[in-house]
Amino acid sequence: MYGLTVRWSLTDAPKGTLKALRAYVEEESYAKFAGLEGLRFKTWRAHKGQWFEGSYVFVSDEAREAFQTSFEATAADSKVSKLVGSPPITIEPCEIIGVVRGPSGFRSSGRFEHGAED
């Protein structure tokens, strides 16, 4: 499978950035990527005070490359870069070896698993 990792540093991000990123994913980004042709799935990951990451899996290397080329041209001005205050530190294609869905399934949003903290 054809993956792409995009990571931003949160080490110098303003207070409240992770909370703002959660809201952005739920209110804007989720719908945007739900309709992206050639995308199998995307996950948004974060480690508070460390990094925020988008992990993508595409149907083909061509779909991954087209998205990567387009994103790299505008990465510094992306909504996440504006929220974080800096461009991505990593934009890296990768191979996804496998994906499994466990018996508990998965949730499209972690909204109810986080409190009001950053």
- Is the separation of the CB atoms in 76 and 91 below 8 Å? no
Residues 81-108: what's their mean pLDDT? 91
What kind of fold does domain 2-99 have according to CATH?
A: Alpha-Beta Plaits (3.30.70)
Q: How confident is the model at residue 52 (pLDDT cuts 50, 70, 90)?
A: very high
pLDDT, tens digit, 9 for 90 and up, residues 6-51? 999 999 999 999 999 999 999 999 989 999 999 999 999 999 999 9
pLDDT, mean over the chain: 92
Give me the percent of the chain exceeding a pLDDT of 90: 79
**Would you state the pLDDT for residue 101?**
82
Residue carrying the six token digits 């191979």: 95
Taking the C-alpha atoms of residue 93 and residue 55, their distance in angstroms, rounded to an integer, is 10
- Segments making up each domain of the chain, as ranges: 2-99
